[in-house]
Structure 1
Amino acid sequence: MPVPTQVARGIAALLFALLAAPAPARAESSPPPPPSAEHTTPAAHYAALLAQEPEGAAVVVDAATGGASSPEEIARAVHEALSPLGIPYYAVVSPFPGHEARWGGDTVVPALYDRLGEEGLYLRLRPRGTDLELAAHGVDLPAEDIRLAVQLHPDLEYDTPATEVVGVLAEIAADPESAREYTYDGGPGTLRYLLDDLDPTSYTGPENLGMLAGGTAGFVLVVGGVLAWRAGRGRKRAGGGSRGRAALIAVLAAGLAAAAVAVPHGYMVRAPAGRHETPDPEDEARAGPPYVVSTARAENVLEQWEGDPLYVDPLAPVRREGLAETADLIATAEPPVYAAVLAMGPGDDAGGNPELLAAALASLSERDGVHLVVRHRSHGEGVEIGAHATGLGTDPYDVWNAVHDIEADTPAQALAAAVRALGDVETDPGGPEEPPLVESEPSVPRPRGERFSSGLFGGLFGAGPLLGVLAVAVLGVAAGVLRGVRRRIGSRPGTRRLRRLAGAECRRLARLLSSPGAERIPASLMPQAEAALLVAERDPGPLDLVGATVLARRVLAAAREPGAPVRGRPCEVNPLHGTATERVRTRGEGAAGAARVCRDCAELTEARRRTAVLSLRGPGGAFTPYTHEGDSPWITHAFGARRPERMIELVLEENRVR
């Protein structure tokens, strides 16, 4: 390097040492110190800047901080949030240090306190999100509880700007007890987290809402369809009731499915536009010069280039050997080259993209030449480089191609390779300028309707029917098991149960007879009503209790449905099942040949019908099929379906004798 350049650098370093005195109080971010080839840790860097701020109200926002607000606006927001707490505070907003191992750790707050030694609240925020550090020294605040509460707060997301995060933090710090409301094992925000996934103003909310609506509709249609099919699969009841019920179920299912779609869709349409549905300010900035929201860092680099075409950020976590020789190479490069070795990361003004920052520098620069930005690789060792030229009439792709494949361990190696490669790029000074490759239109999600529809069809034809089929299968199995259990219990009722059953039915019958509704009872059934009550009042046996129950139910059914047949035979498998509606062939005990059975028994196999025959407890305590009492009037007269007058006469005679 020529001696004059070395002298100039020495003078600049001396001036920096002399001028590093506390600056007047201000509510703005402090600019970074002049360039230096020596590496400085983030803690040392920010501690020096905090020391220049007003004591007890110090805020430093790194010029590289990205987001929709400028560093000055962020600094003001931090002051406005923290100053009402009435305690000293020292806050840093910066994307550095990053999480990579080369930073030597991603915490700075403990080191800031060690260097400053002042009591107060120490805070480090990243440009976006709730990844923060918080410590309280000499002030009564539960710093760890507050930090955890901020991270779990339902109003904050991974990309919430630091200006909003610090506002929530200040609200919780003003009422420290509220910090305990937010815990990992639940809290007031748990339901909110689930509802946020359905928020129509979020990026994925309309699609999730459509999936839920479609899934619900598909589920209802499948379950409703199965129920309608079962209700009307060919077994006609009086007046075609089964078909009517099937149609009703189908209509109700269709209506519920339509409502499951219409209600969420209406809610989605009425919701106002959210921040996820409007272009991000950083994305809008990248649609044209200067390609970044805040130009603070770019302008600082341009100022450093006034004295030297190579600027090295003191925070850059890179190896610095060879940079002096590289400075000489850059000073004599053709075409002209201006290079900056910078600390970069996902939360900075360029999103960690060196090509984007190179384009920003080129758009703000009044110098013709190639603008290079070198940063450490985000993954692995080495460095990466971005480039953009202005005033040279070059093809942006040629410039990109010249540096894109450079692999180097140090900035010096990368810059030397870039200078050599750029020497072969074709130039046309004064020619037309092409926009940089990083220029792009803002990204916004598709219209809500499209996102809702994509989720709707996925739920309607995928998840919903699948869950519906699964639910029908599970319920079918459960119903089958329950039916089997009930059938087993119902086919062997004890005497107490029969007495309770007969008593309940006869009490209902007695209330009907003493009410005006008695007029609806057909005259032919009045003897059976009286017989049921008389039998129940005496000391009936198990079969008498069954008979009284069947007679009472027959009379009650006739009163409910005037005009219905009054001599229906009860189910021959179990008279307590009700009127027989089907004929089946069976060789079961007591039901040989063609048997009249109820609908449920008709669906059973012959073997299961045999086990379902009503069995009654005998004098010895053993259960035997009711048909074993074949000489009983109840059996010979089919519980009043045949010659009911004669049956009543015989039954009452038996009871008198007993």
Structure 2
Amino acid sequence: MRRGVAKAARWGARVAAVMLVAVVGLGGSAGASVADEKPRSTAAYLADQLRKSPVHLSDQLPRTNPLSARPAFLKEAKRTGVPTYVLVLPGYGAGRDGLLAAVHDRLGKDGLYLLFGGDGGSPDTETFGVDVPARDAAMATTFELPYDAGTLDTFRHFVDVLRSGEATERADKAAAAGRAGEEPDKLYTSRTDRKNQGFLTGILLTGVPVLIVAVGWYVRRWRGGKGPGLRLLVPVAAAGALVIGVGAPLVFDDTRTTGDPVPTAADMAARTDRVARGLRADPVYLDPLAAGTLSPAQLGRLRERAKRLEVPVRLVVVPLDTADESAGDGELLAKRLHDRLGDDGDGVYVIADDSENGELEVVNHGAELDSAALHDATEDLRFGEGGESDAGVYQRLDEALRIVDRLPSAPAEGPYLEPMAAENPVTEDELPSLYAEDFVPGTLMGVVGALAALGVTAAGLGIARHIGPGVRSAATRASATGTGGASGSTDPQAPARPSTGWLRRTARRELDELNEEYEQLSGNLPDAARTRVWDHLDAATLLLDQEGDNRVDADADAPTLAAGLALIRTGRAVLAAGGGRHITSAGTRLCVLNPLHGPATATRKLKLPGESGGARSRPVCAGCRAALEERGTSTSGSRAAHIAGVVGARLLCLRDPGAARSAPHEPYHRVPGPLAAPQGTGRDAGPTADQIVRRVREQLGVH
């Protein structure tokens, strides 16, 4: 959770990267500043650390890359096959261009040099005297790993790519996928994911057993007492609940939101101990990797001014990072330092982030000053003068000392406000139980869903009871064949409940065919017919290829695809008829049951689902007409039931745009899109191709 926003932002930067995403930063580990020692350069300090070990982990990142994880990093470094030097530092590398080259110059050893930021992300790489595809491996790692990968995950993946022998190919492929907006699956379960998992588990744990018992009981009652009774249903439901309850934790088995190593108590205390040792020798502590923040002259002036004050003042310039022991809170770091120094540490603590725009905190821990007055007087220094980040670190530190010097003496006090404790580094990444948080709402939703399913079952069985066995058989044949039982039907293939994939594939194929046919046959058509075919082809292209890349849009929804396919098929019908009058005028009216059947050729009285009143004359295609005219029995009641069955089997039904795959299909005229019935109008006439053309052009602003 603590790194979600930062990682999401970094992933956005990955997609825009062209060569290498550098994640570098400032930080340091052991070492202390002393009064008579000039600050060493960042590169010199890092070179000293790499002489001790080829892997240097900053002690300022215990929450993500604790010092105790060094053996794991060393193991990966040895797998590269060449001398490898690894730096893991806080921050994201502002102004760190050329750092690895400078470290190499001072260390004087050839090899592969890697610089990681403290929160994952691909490394900065440099090679000296070794021939390995480090940049390609870093590029592939950038796009092949998801944003929740930690530093150790990233290093391990980088080495795998480096050793694969396909680093260049993988880099090109991954970069292309990144530019296309493709993202790899997450490695770990987030807290939000766990809530969703608990919600789903709750739904299944109650919904499935209730559904088994309720629907089984109702079906038995509907069949006149035949079928399994409660003595069988209840044990089956209980067994289902047991399987779900035991199986869910095995399926959703993640326990932490990240793969970062868990820090020890020593890891969490390492930087505090280091800074405290430095403060015992010098009232001004400059972090070893922040050497460029203050010049030697500025450092000397601050030291002399701090020593002249009547109250003890300790200045600390150090990187503040959410992954450090204080979670990036300067006030909390001041408290930890005071606790570590004990009674000898009473005084005013000034904690400054090492960046120009960083945080600055002034906290009183036992100095003879009014803590509230100190807090108010230094408020503007926290982020620069006047609340703006226009003052450098030195100017803000110098002003803080001047303010302390001007404040009158008062009884010794503690901080104006006690800082909030940082989250426990061991538990902050732990996932809650699957049966916590959203599990209970899920159980309630499971009962509601099961009862809703019971209602749907009851309604379906009620309709089946009224239709009767003979009509159910006819409807079943119509649904299976797509022809309503009519032999010799000529309507094109058009399932009543087409999938989005089928619509997209069919529209793509038939749009290409209509383009070819129009080029070949349009010259033989009358002007009116040629214009109508062009209007249908143009509107279908506008609707299906809104990106303008001569391809059916991959994100087009089912209603859009269906409308485009209906226009395509009507245009092809006009071409096939040679511009005949019945096609170019009345024939533009589409089949009311399924516009994908193309132009209507007749009218029949029928009633659409959900309508009130009696049957009305509607346009239908030849196939639907034949299906409606098929006579199952001679009675009028059976005739009406037969028509209702055919309508139910052949009526085009689609899912709402954006609906899940499990969502029910709805009659096409009720689904938002170009085929939807206009508000406030009847549906007697059904949709026409010309109406769809006008809607498309109005929607897209084309005239």
TM-score using structure 1 length: 0.50
Q: Note closer, same or farther for the CA distance 1:146–1:310 as it changes in structure 2 (3 Å cut).
A: closer
Indicate the residue corresponding to 1:442 in structure 2: 424
Shift of 1:210: 1.9
Partner of 2:290 in structure 1?
A: 315
User: 1:88 Cα shift?
Assistant: 2.3
Question: How big is the shift at 1:108?
Answer: 3.7
1:292-371 superposed matches below 5 A: 292-295=269-272, 297-299=274-276, 301-302=278-279, 305=282, 309=284, 311=286, 315=290, 327-348=303-324, 350-365=326-341, 366-371=344-349
Residue 392 of structure 2: which of 393, 397, 410 is its match? 410
**How far 1:337 sits from its partner (Å)?**
1.2
SS in 1 for 2:321: coil
Determine if contact 1:35/1:311 at 8 Å carries over to the other structure.
no
Distance 1:175 1:488, change over 3 A: closer
Which residue pairs with 2:442 in the alignment? 459
Determine if contact 2:33/2:278 at 8 Å carries over to the other structure.
Answer: no
Tell me the distance in 1 between the aligned counterparts of 2:192 and 2:632.
65
Residues 127 and 488 of structure 1, relative CA distance in 2, 3 Å threshold: closer
Counterparts of 1:94 and 1:609, CA distance in 2: 71
CA distances 1:55-112 after superposition (whole Å, capped 9, x unpaired): 9x744444545448765x566654454346552223222114x35xxx3357744565
C-alpha change, 1:36 and 1:63, in structure 2 (3 Å) is farther
Give the corresponding residue for 2:77.
Answer: 82
Distance 1:311 1:30, change over 3 A: closer
How far does residue 298 in structure 1 lie from its aligned partner after superposition? 0.7
Residues 299-344 of structure 1: per-residue CA shift (max 9 Å, x gap) = 4642661xx6474866267587977665554332232212123343
Match of 1:373 in 2: 351
Closer/same/farther in 2, CA of residues 373 and 48 from structure 1, 3 Å limit = closer
Check whether the contact 1:94–1:124 (CA below 8 A) recurs between aligned residues: yes
The answer on whether the counterparts of 2:137 and 2:162 sit within 8 Å (CA) in structure 1 is yes
Q: Which amino acid aligns with 1:93?
A: V
Match of 2:290, SS? Answer: coil
Contact 2:161 2:167 in 1 (8 A): yes
Please state how far the C-alpha of 1:195 moved relative to its aligned partner.
8.1
The aligned residue for residue 546 of structure 2 is none
Taking structure 1 as reference, are residues 217 and 77 closer, same or farther at Cα in structure 2, changes over 3 Å only? closer
Match of 1:209 among 193, 197, 215: 197
Report how far residue 121 of structure 1 moved: 0.8
Once residues 252 and 471 of structure 1 are traced to their aligned partners in structure 2, the CA distance between those partners, rounded to angstroms, is 19
What is the CA–CA distance in structure 2 between the aligned matches of 1:392 and 1:275, rounded to whole Å?
42
- Check 1:119–1:369 CA distance in 2 against 1; reply closer, same or farther (3 A cut): same
1:386 matches 2:395? no
Q: Pairwise CA RMSD of aligned residues?
A: 5.9
| Aligned residues of 2:363 and 2:415 also touching (Cα < 8 A) | no
- AA aligned to 1:459 is G
Which protein is bigger by CA-based radius of gyration?
1
Q: State the aligned residue count.
A: 449
* Alpha-carbon distance in structure 2 between the residues aligned to 1:166 and 1:85: 10
**1:467 & 1:152 partners in 2: Cα distance?**
43
Name the CA distance, whole Å, in 1 between partners of 2:428 and 2:61: 26
Question: Is 1:121–2:103 an aligned residue pair?
Answer: no
- Rounded Cα–Cα distance in structure 2 between residues aligned with 1:591 and 1:76: 87
Matches within 5 A, 1:596-607: 605=641
Change (3 A) 1:454 1:590: same
- TM-score of the pair, normalised by structure 2: 0.48
**Distance 1:328-1:85 versus aligned 2 partners, 3 A rule:** closer
SS of the residue corresponding to residue 452 of structure 1 reads coil
CA contact (8 A) 1:337 1:370 kept: yes
The answer to whether the Cα contact below 8 Å between 2:364 and 2:371 also exists between their aligned partners in 1 is yes
> After the TM superposition, which residues 138-157 of structure 1 pair with which residues of structure 2 at under 5 Å, given as runs?
138-147=129-138
Q: Match for 2:47 among 38, 47, 50?
A: 50
- How much does 1:297 deviate? 4.1
* Deviation digits for residues 564-617 of structure 1 (CA, Å, limit 9, x no counterpart): xxxxxxxxxxxxxxxxxxxxxxxx996348x7x7xxx9xx647547999xxxxx
Q: Aligned letter for 1:298?
A: V
Q: CA deviation at 1:410?
A: 2.4
Q: Distance in 1 between matches of 2:230 and 2:280?
A: 81
What percent identity do the matched residue pairs reach? 19
Amino acid aligned to 1:455: D
* Distance change >3 Å, CA 121–CA 373, structure 1 → 2: same
d(CA) in 1 for partners of 2:400, 2:409: 14
SS at match of 2:435: helix
Going from structure 1 to structure 2, the CA distance change for 1:610 and 1:393 (only over 3 Å counts) comes to closer
Matched letter for residue 302 of structure 1 = L
Q: Assess, with a 3 A threshold, how the Cα gap between structure 1 residues 205 and 432 changes in structure 2: closer, same or farther.
A: same
Q: Using a 3 Å threshold, how does the CA distance of structure 1 residues 369 and 445 change in structure 2: closer, same or farther?
A: closer
- Distance, in Å, in 1 between the alignment partners of 2:365 and 2:317 is 19
Judge conservation of contact 2:150–2:259 (CA < 8 Å) in 1. Answer: no
Whole-Å separation in 1 of the counterparts to 2:325 and 2:632: 89
Distance verdict in 2 for CA 1:446–1:159, change over 3 Å: closer
